[in-house]
Amino acid sequence: MTALLTVSGLTVSFGSFTALDGVDLAVEEKELRFLIGPNGAGKTTLIDVVTGRTRPTAGTVRFGGADVTVLAEHKAVRAGIGRTFQTAAVFDALTVADNVDLAASFRLAPHRLLRRRDRSAVPEALERVGMADLADRRAGELSHGRRQWLEIAMLLAQRPRLLLLDEPVAGMSAAERERTGELLGEIAQDTTVLVVEHDMEFLRRHARTVTVLHEGRVLTEGTLEEVRADERVAEVYLGRSAAERDGEQHTGVRGAADVKETADA
């Protein structure tokens, strides 16, 4: 099997600080991959590079067999790479349907945009996230969870081959998290999905293959069971919860504090 996304030797430096340090990552077609790691590990930076937002200092990104290492953001979208941000980027004043329609148009080249009248992608995308009945609601009136689902619908309307979701369940209720987990499984039936998430309960329920990033490097990769059994992961990631419960002081990396905030939100 050839991977849909292949990241090789990816390095990103911000001045003298190295946010990503030689990351190798391969995601197969229709895979649901979780990317975890303490706060500051480089997860968002990795998404930023794959989507053309940040230029790497070294290394390559290949997508569907093509080199997309230095593709402009709008070209990455057109190539079929969609992403969400840690905070949902929807237009509050527009209706749910208009947000999705606008997002669908991002995928089109400008000359096609001028002639475009077909809104067929809109009901289909809303149906997939279970929000068809909210099409005419103003986005600003939606609950936090529904805003996140709207953003996913906006991406689905672009018919991406690869979806990159940055902490999609942060701030969601337990019921919203559960629905989101199911939704990711459904989406991954025909779309490749890379999810950044570090809520352990969510991972336990929905994760298949997990890649652990730590200080800009891939620490380990495997099934959730394999990753959880890895002592290095316990040390850099999970172990901090116990250490912090014991009142131990940590400086610098805020691993488990971040995990706990997410879990408690």
Which stretches of the chain bind ligand ADP, using CB under 6 A?
Answer: 14, 17, 19, 37, 39-45
Of the pair 44, 158, the CB lying nearest ligand ADP is at 44
Shortest CB 254 distance to ligand ADP, Å = 9
Q: Nearest 5 degrees, angle CA 71-CA 163-CA 24?
A: 65
Instruction: Give Cα separations from 133 to 83, 92, 159, 186 (angstroms).
Output: 24, 18, 21, 20
Of the pair 19, 153, the CB lying nearest Mg ion is at 19
Number of CB atoms found within 10 A of residue 175's CB: 9
What are the two backbone dihedrals, phi and then psi, of residue 106, each rounded to the nearest 5 degrees?
-60, -30
Among 5, 44, 107, 181, the residue binding Mg ion under the rule CB under 5 A is 44
**Of 173, 23, 170, 25, the residue nearest 84 (C-alpha):** 170
SS3 content of the chain, % helix, strand, coil (to 5): 40, 25, 35
From 38-46, 144-152, 154-162, 236-244, give the range in contact with Mg ion by CB under 5 A. 38-46
Residue nearest to Mg ion (CB): 44
Of the pair 19, 155, the CB lying nearest ligand ADP is at 19
From 2-10, 39-47, 102-110, 186-194, give the range in contact with Mg ion by CB under 5 A. 39-47
Shortest CB 166 distance to Mg ion, Å = 6
Of the pair 98, 215, the CB lying nearest ligand ADP is at 215
Query: What does the alpha-carbon distance between residue 120 and residue 98 come to, in Å, rounded to a whole number?
Result: 12
Of the pair 14, 174, the CB lying nearest ligand ADP is at 14
Query: What does the alpha-carbon distance between residue 197 and residue 200 come to, in Å, rounded to a whole number?
Result: 8
Residues that bind Mg ion (CB under 5 A): 43-44
